[in-house]
Chain A
Amino acid sequence: MSIRLTSGGRLIDRSAPIDFTFNGKHLRGFAGDTLASALLANGQMLVGRSFKYHRPRGIVASGAEEPNALVNLGQGARAEPNQRATTTELFDGLQARSQNHWPSLEFDVGVLNNYAARLLPGGFYYKTFIHPRAAWKHLFEPIIRQTAGLGAAPKDRDADRYEQVYAFCDLLVVGGGVAGLHAALVAARAGARVWLVEQSAHWGGRAPVDGDMIDALPAADWVNATVAELAGMANVTLRARTMAAGVYDHGYVLLDERLADHTPGDGRPRHRLWRMRAARIIAATGAIERPLSFAGNDVPGVMLASALRDYLVNWAVSPGQRTVVVTNNDDAYRTAIALHQAGQTVVAVIDARDQADGALPAQARALGIRVETGKAIARVKGGKHVTGVEVCRQTGDGTISRFLACNAVAMSGGWSPVVHLYSHCGGKLIWDEAGAMFRPDAAHPPITQDGSAMVIGAGAANGALREAIADADAQVRIALKAVGIKPKKSAVPRQDLPDEAALQPVWIMPQAAGVGLRAKVWLDYQNDVKVSDVQLAAREGYGSVEHAKRYTTLGMATDQGKISNINGLAVLAEALNEPVPQVGTTTFRPPYTPVPLGALAGEARGEIFQPLRKTPMDGWHAAQGATFEPVGLWRRPYCYPRPGETPRQAVAREVKNTRQALGLLDASTLGKIIVKGPDAGRFLDMLYTNVMSSLPVGRCRYGLMCNEQGFLSDDGVMARIDDDTWLCHTTSGGADRIHGWMEDWLQCEWWDWQVFTANVTEHYAQIAVVGPNARKLLERLGGMEVSQDALPFMAWADGSLAGFGCRVYRISFSGELSYEIAVPASQGAAFWQACHDAGASLGAMPYGTEALHVMRAEKGFIMIGDETDGTVTPQDLGLDWAVSKKKADFLGKRGQERSHLTSPDRWKLVGFETLDGSVIPEGAYVIAQGSNANGQRHVQGRVTSTYRSPTLGRGIAMGLLLRGPERMGEVVSFNTVDGSTVQARVVGPVFYDRDGEKQNV
């Protein structure tokens, strides 16, 4: 049973008790505890169940590498699944629940999977998905799905807020251990802008725990002094609780700062995501201890030796009063010595090496600790916690020599440098034979924009497990030089460390363990991957480490295999009979530890998820209760329902009123681009399919734009303002895109042409005054001549109306008598109100985008995005009249000459009238005879616009049909979702006022 010792604990404050709950049980810890240390202090060894077999699992590690101790934290709007107990700082009222068990942690039905392990070998998921399908559906899936899974996704909206900040520095040092602290200090003293970030709440890393001496000071004192000096420097930013999630191109780093995880609801943002741009990055991220691979190495109470030492020294927690230490190196003896010094019993140190004569083993022996060399653990005994170990020879097959009763096992298989940040952007690793570890290859670093090293490893992360400060000193000087900063000469702080003998790589314990043992040796605790699974993958031909990973799911859990990957690939290498470096590592990808989605979203949620563009009259629309719809980033009134009206009734009223009296449309979102210069006409002739240079001043012309493939891209009305100035109207969603398109051609292809463009869309409010009473309204407003003679159809004029300076275009998108009036944006709302005031007795009503669409469809006018989808030419839409035959060239001309675009077998625009007057469903296809190889019905056309016409009292539609214009009068069938069909007659696309008389009065 794990307990809290009566004294010690460098991080806890015994005068500040903290109450929390685990699975509803009320427990108490101290300020400074992590959830993991507090659970252990309360004797809670069992913290979760494994993913596949639901094996009981305890805490293995003390930091970010923890694979087992994942909990659901909080509830309601502050619920967060899969939180690592080892990195969760304890706070008053913390509520944690264990995961992946049913019905309870102590008694779990899913553990039956454990006994069915022979049915769930490596590659299980793939094999069951491939065949037999029924077995998955009826047998495996219900079992797995009901009992497995990670934490529960929160159901409520996140109560917290998150923020993002940009930051810049010369040198970003990641890792606040002694290497990182020293690197930051050297850089800071040299005058560099330095950031130092540390993922935990404490500075100093392992050195204070291990009792290192630095410059004759206890490491903790040296750390405090160094932090104090750094904190006093203006060019240094220190951030604890800040995790470097990933290194990206050209020095871009995401830093996730946990501001209020440990003080929830205190008003601060929960996390702050720093979007850092660093000229150079020092990865002083330390190293992670590896487990040893022996049978039962997942039983609660088996822990990394360094983690056990952390719990003992930092939090005065002893995971077991009788501990067996098992190791292949000298470092683990520190744990034995620390246990002994804390008054705990060390049953034995089981050392796989034949000799253990270094300074630390010697010290252990001198303390009376039994050391057994050449030995291994054959098997850990115990279910929900360790009860003992069976000892055997490391070189044998597991024949048991003796049983040792104990309730904790501290294991150490050596250390792996944390090379993630070095690897994210392609830094290469080399295999260090002596340390049996991958470390950064300084000859092949990840590079930045000038081709030089972007990330530089330092200290343990660079493979310097012992002389970390000396290595950091050398590396930071290289980094500073690279950014043109001269470091000051200074002595390197001296680390006083006992000599350590060489480690002996041990990948399977014992070496010749039989199949029975190998099937109980866990590599990946969270995803339940065993030595036997990796060996099976190798036998089944998954020789590539990336394939074996995906086949076995090794390293694919939320911990991303921080403690399992190296062991796993060493086992794979052995099975393949290849050296470890030849097998190589899987790819390290960001984030280093999970980042909340909330932090990635930042403030971009709710109303400010994305920018919202509003016209000058938006407030009026909202006050009228308009129903809005998004158009690009704009919001536009869809219709203006009156009390008791449905939107459909409102649209019908708006259409009828506009056709019979007077409608007012806020058309301000229409794109407006000025094209000006001596070559403007020539330029527009290239851009549009028809001729724009010949347009007389004072006149308007409808025009089409195509891409180089010849497909329609945008349309709109052009106005010739003066000799060298044109105003192009674009679609509402297309203004920015078309402006960019114009600039592309002007800057990159015809850069010698003298043309300027300006996107003035937001400079003007634009109002369409539409209907039989339109002219009467303008006459009432007064100020300029708007008669048929003075301002005929497709003409424009500058003037004033009701005292507002304006430009009036006589254009129509509805088929009615219509004027579009542009006024400066700042006067848009006032002019809009003036139109309504003066128009009230003329029947003026606002209409929205749906009425606009219905009226243009009644007239057979096409809409970009409805009739077009990037594969439709002007000719397909019967717009040949707007495509010049005379021009030698325009964008899209050559594309339109391609044989498949000139083929008579194109789908072409026609109108459709349903025989029963109904509305053809949106997206419906015109069906043809027969089916394709997939059993899908052949089709010969599709509907592109379909509405109920209030004017005509029935459904109308436009669409594309194979050789459509040749098939007038034919009846075709449209499919519907429910499998029935709708019959419609092929007609011309213009349903209303075919001769266009109403707009030209």
Chain B
Amino acid sequence: MLLLICPYCGVAAEETELAPGGEAHLKRFGPGSSDAEFEAYLFARKNPKGVHFERWRHAYGCGKWFLAARCTATLEVFGTYPAQTSGPPDDIIDRIKARRPDWKGFA
């Protein structure tokens, strides 16, 4: 029962208010893409033990999608941020590096 702060309405939302959306920052590949690109887009997921970026929707709240940086092993939350970005913001990256010096970075 995670608690994630919705970056839009500021509510510390319980997991029952949220709908999960899987891995964040996927790049969409449409017509014209290679089989390998399309496979990566549809199926290949990082599923790491540790730092992970994922999509959540404040489904039973403001209805907005947002992104969360979280440790899948300890459930520590490094931050949440609006979904309108193609990569994690710098302040989130800095916080993760401070908490997880061994982290290899967002790629």
Q: Mark A724-742, 1 if CB is under 8 A from B, else 0.
A: 0000000000000000100
The verdict on B3 contacting chain A, using a C-beta distance below 8 Å, is: yes
Q: Flag if B30 contacts A893 (CB, 8 Å).
A: yes
Chain B CB within 10 Å — which of A248, A740, A747 has the most? A747
Chain B residues with Cβ below 8 Å from A743 are 57, 63, 65
Alpha-carbon distance between A426 and B21 when the two chains are bound, in angstroms? 25
Say how far A277's CB is from chain B's closest CB, in angstroms: 7
- Given A447-B74, A450-B76, A894-B29; A249-B1 close (CB under 8 Å): yes
- Given A744-B65, A894-B29, A894-B33; A249-B75 close (CB under 8 Å): yes
Q: Flag if A449 contacts B75 (CB, 8 Å).
A: yes
The verdict on A629 contacting chain B, using a C-beta distance below 8 Å, is: no
- Given A277-B3, A744-B57, A889-B31; A449-B65 close (CB under 8 Å): no
Alpha-carbon distance between A426 and B76 when the two chains are bound, in angstroms? 12
6 pairs of A and B residues whose beta carbons are closest in the complex: A252-B1, A451-B76, A751-B84, A250-B3, A747-B65, A449-B77
Chain B residues with Cβ below 8 Å from A880 are none
Q: Flag if B84 contacts A897 (CB, 8 Å).
A: no
What is the total number of residues of chain A having a CB less than 8 Å from a CB of chain B? 28
Alpha-carbon distance between A252 and B2 when the two chains are bound, in angstroms? 8
Chain A residues with Cβ below 8 Å from B31 are 888-889, 893-894, 897
Please classify how large the interface on chain B is, using the bins under 10, 10 to 19, 20 to 34, 35 or more: 20 to 34
Q: Flag if B83 contacts A747 (CB, 8 Å).
A: yes
The verdict on A627 contacting chain B, using a C-beta distance below 8 Å, is: no
The verdict on A251 contacting chain B, using a C-beta distance below 8 Å, is: yes
Chain B residues with Cβ below 8 Å from A450 are 76-77
Chain A residues with Cβ below 8 Å from B2 are 249-250, 449
Within 1-43 of B, Cβ neighbours of A (below 8 Å) are at: 1-3, 14-15, 19, 21, 28-33, 35, 38, 41-42
Chain B residues with Cβ below 8 Å from A709 are 42
The verdict on B44 contacting chain A, using a C-beta distance below 8 Å, is: no
Say how far A746's CB is from chain B's closest CB, in angstroms: 9
Q: Mark A771-813, 1 if CB is under 8 A from B, else 0.
A: 0000000000000000000000000000000000000000000
Chain A residues with Cβ below 8 Å from B64 are 747
The verdict on A824 contacting chain B, using a C-beta distance below 8 Å, is: no
B residues with a Cβ closer than 8 A to A are: 1-3, 14-15, 19, 21, 28-33, 35, 38, 41-42, 55, 57, 59, 63-65, 74-77, 83-84, 99
Q: Flag if B3 contacts A748 (CB, 8 Å).
A: no
**Residue of B28, B30, B32, B57 touching A740 (CB-CB under 8 A):** B57
The verdict on A895 contacting chain B, using a C-beta distance below 8 Å, is: yes
Say how far A604's CB is from chain B's closest CB, in angstroms: 13
Q: Mark A693-708, 1 if CB is under 8 A from B, else 0.
A: 0000000000000001
**Residue of A248, A708, A888, A889 touching B1 (CB-CB under 8 A):** A248
Alpha-carbon distance between A743 and B56 when the two chains are bound, in angstroms? 12
Q: Flag if A250 contacts B57 (CB, 8 Å).
A: no
- Given A249-B1, A251-B3; A749-B28 close (CB under 8 Å): yes
Alpha-carbon distance between A888 and B32 when the two chains are bound, in angstroms? 9
Alpha-carbon distance between A425 and B71 when the two chains are bound, in angstroms? 14
Alpha-carbon distance between A251 and B59 when the two chains are bound, in angstroms? 22
Alpha-carbon distance between A17 and B63 when the two chains are bound, in angstroms? 60
Q: Flag if A747 contacts B3 (CB, 8 Å).
A: no
Say how far A436's CB is from chain B's closest CB, in angstroms: 30
- Given A747-B65, A894-B38; A889-B30 close (CB under 8 Å): yes
Q: Which partner residue on chain A sits nearest B66 by CB separation? A: A747
Chain B residues with Cβ below 8 Å from A749 are 28
Alpha-carbon distance between A249 and B42 when the two chains are bound, in angstroms? 30
Q: Flag if A447 contacts B75 (CB, 8 Å).
A: yes
Say how far B74's CB is from chain A's closest CB, in angstroms: 5
Chain B residues with Cβ below 8 Å from A251 are 3
**Residue of B1, B33, B38, B76 touching A447 (CB-CB under 8 A):** B76
Chain B CB within 10 Å — which of A252, A449, A450, A743 has the most? A449
Q: Which partner residue on chain A sits nearest B39 by CB separation? A: A898
Alpha-carbon distance between A741 and B29 when the two chains are bound, in angstroms? 18
Sample 24 A-B pairs with CB under 8 A, ordered by A number. Answer: A248-B1, A249-B15, A250-B2, A251-B3, A252-B1, A447-B74, A449-B2, A449-B75, A449-B77, A708-B28, A740-B57, A747-B64, A747-B65, A747-B84, A748-B21, A748-B83, A751-B83, A888-B31, A889-B30, A889-B31, A894-B31, A894-B32, A894-B33, A898-B38
Within 47-84 of A, Cβ neighbours of B (below 8 Å) are at: none
Given contacts A277-B3, A740-B59, A748-B55, 17 further A-B contacts (CB under 8 A): A249-B1, A249-B2, A249-B15, A250-B1, A425-B75, A426-B74, A447-B75, A450-B76, A708-B42, A740-B57, A743-B63, A744-B57, A751-B83, A751-B84, A889-B31, A893-B31, A897-B31
Chain B residues with Cβ below 8 Å from A748 are 21, 55, 65, 83-84
Chain A residues with Cβ below 8 Å from B55 are 748
Q: Mark A401-430, 1 if CB is under 8 A from B, else 0.
A: 000000000000000000000000110000
Say how far B1's CB is from chain A's closest CB, in angstroms: 4
Q: Flag if B75 contacts A250 (CB, 8 Å).
A: yes
Alpha-carbon distance between A701 and B42 when the two chains are bound, in angstroms? 30
Say how far B78's CB is from chain A's closest CB, in angstroms: 9
Say how far A611's CB is from chain B's closest CB, in angstroms: 12
Chain A residues with Cβ below 8 Å from B42 are 708-709, 895
Chain B residues with Cβ below 8 Å from A744 are 21, 57, 65
Chain A residues with Cβ below 8 Å from B29 are 894
Say how far B75's CB is from chain A's closest CB, in angstroms: 5
Alpha-carbon distance between A898 and B19 when the two chains are bound, in angstroms? 30
Say how far B57's CB is from chain A's closest CB, in angstroms: 7
Alpha-carbon distance between A744 and B63 when the two chains are bound, in angstroms? 10
Q: Flag if A740 contacts B19 (CB, 8 Å).
A: yes
Say how far A170's CB is from chain B's closest CB, in angstroms: 14
Alpha-carbon distance between A744 and B24 when the two chains are bound, in angstroms? 12
Alpha-carbon distance between A889 and B28 when the two chains are bound, in angstroms? 12
Say how far B11's CB is from chain A's closest CB, in angstroms: 13
Chain A residues with Cβ below 8 Å from B35 are 898
Q: Which partner residue on chain A sits nearest B78 by CB separation? A: A451
Q: Mark A119-143, 1 if CB is under 8 A from B, else 0.
A: 0000000000000000000000000
Q: Which partner residue on chain B sits nearest A747 by CB separation? A: B65
Say how far B41's CB is from chain A's closest CB, in angstroms: 8
Say how far B95's CB is from chain A's closest CB, in angstroms: 10
Alpha-carbon distance between A447 and B77 when the two chains are bound, in angstroms? 11
Say how far A886's CB is from chain B's closest CB, in angstroms: 12
Chain A residues with Cβ below 8 Å from B99 are 451
Within 873-904 of A, Cβ neighbours of B (below 8 Å) are at: 888-889, 893-895, 897-898
Chain B CB within 10 Å — which of A251, A451, A895, A897 has the most? A451
Chain A CB within 10 Å — which of B41, B59, B75 has the most? B75
Chain A CB within 10 Å — which of B29, B55, B63, B64 has the most? B63
Say how far A902's CB is from chain B's closest CB, in angstroms: 13
Alpha-carbon distance between A751 and B67 when the two chains are bound, in angstroms? 14
Say how far B20's CB is from chain A's closest CB, in angstroms: 12
Chain A residues with Cβ below 8 Å from B30 are 889, 893-894
Alpha-carbon distance between A426 and B15 when the two chains are bound, in angstroms? 19
Say how far B42's CB is from chain A's closest CB, in angstroms: 6
Alpha-carbon distance between A480 and B1 when the two chains are bound, in angstroms? 23
